[in-house]
Amino acid sequence: MGKIVPIGNIAIVVHGGAGPDSDFLLQHLPEYEKGLSLAVDAGYKILKKGGSAIDAVEAAVRVLEDDKHFNAGRGAAITAAGNVEMCTSIMDGQTKKAGAAAIVTNVRNPISFAKALMDDEILMYVGGEEAYETAKDLGLKTEPDSYFVTDHQWEEFEKERSKKPAQRGPAFEKYMKRKHGTVGAVALDSRGNLAAGTSTGGTVFAQPGRIGDSSMIGVGTFADNKTAAVSCTGDGEYLITEVMAYNIAATVEHTGCTIQEAMDRVIHKKNKDKKGDLGAIGIDSKGNIGIAFNSEQMARAWRTPDDSGIEIYR
């Protein structure tokens, strides 16, 4: 899917994660579509008023983090230890400033935590127990553990727990079989500035302490006004080794192709033999929109002054 947005106009694209189809998704298609619609509208509203791309991205991702149907924020997956560990990142294409956090607990909106870190003079990327303390110091809203443990994610946790032996290791093959999910957004504002953000609740029954792609600048998130804004989703281990978000933007830079062409080259050609799920959304500096994925589904939505849409399957 490639669309061109005239320069001077605005655009936003959001995603709710690329991955395998599921009974839960099929049973809640209206809720997924509503969540995507609310997210893309929240970001577009800011852009329409002349707001910045970075604010639009934060607003869109916050909506998805607050929606229990998506694997981020409130709907985050439960680790093998029975808790929630979230990862997030955000980047401003104009200033090249970024913020990121890994293994985040109890922060209601991790994307806002990442955005707050953009202006911190000491920290840009923080994780673990200190992440929570840092978030509190920055005035971020927190919630008790019970807020994040939804009925659906607890059911998924119980299913996985019943399959696993007492002694387990972080084998790569095990992660590839697990249900995962991510949310993200990219935006272009009226001044021609780009931004991208990504947030995830991780993978079901993941080994505690596992860090995926979503908190990594250049992997899950990348934005540069000279090239493109990209948010990635899928199996983190593959995205990490491919430095996926930057790889897509660099393909735009070095070949002069559109963001859609770059995504097709990186996901469908360069990585055509990968066994895992890969997906991305993006907007390039010329205003082209790109969406690509190799999985069974990738929930996504987009809006420009002339076009809008919501799709989940191909």
Of 231, 166, 244, residue with least CA distance to 199: 231
CA atoms of 60 and 38, how far apart (whole Å): 8
Where in the chain does DSSP place strands (E)? 2-4, 11-19, 86-92, 98-104, 125-127, 183-188, 194-200, 221-223, 228-234, 278-284, 288-293, 297-303, 308-311
First and final CA of the chain: distance in angstroms?
10
Residue 257 pLDDT greater than 70, yes or no: yes
**Average pLDDT in the 57-74 region?**
97
Does 221 participate in catalysis according to the annotation?
A: no
Q: What is the pLDDT of residues 167-201, one digit of tens each?
A: 445 544 444 444 568 999 999 999 999 999 999 99
**What average pLDDT does this structure show over 237-252?**
97
Return the number of other C-beta atoms located less than 10 Å from residue 221's C-beta: 34
Give residue 292's pLDDT. Answer: 98
Give residue 168's pLDDT. Answer: 46
Percent above pLDDT 70 for the chain: 93
Question: Is the predicted pLDDT of residue 157 greater than 60, yes or no?
Answer: yes
Q: Give me the pLDDT at residue 219, please.
A: 98
Q: Is the pTM of this model over 0.85?
A: yes
Lowest mean pLDDT among 95-99, 151-155, 210-214: 151-155
State mean pLDDT over 124-140: 94
| Predicted pLDDT of residue 173 | 44
pLDDT attached to residue 303: 97
Report which of residues 163 and 286 the model is more confident about.
286
d(CA 219, CA 231): 8
Which pLDDT band, with edges at 50, 70 and 90, does 164 fall under?
low
**Three-class DSSP category at 234:** strand
Domains detected in the chain = 2-311 (3.60.20.30)
Cα separation of 211 and 215, whole Å?
8
Point out the catalytic residue in the list 182, 198, 200, 203.
182
For residue 158, the model assigns a pLDDT of 86
Helix, strand, coil percent values for the chain (each to nearest 5)? 35, 25, 40
Q: Using CB atoms within 10 Å of the CB of residue 92, give its burial: 0 to 12 exposed, 13 to 18 middle, 19+ buried.
A: buried
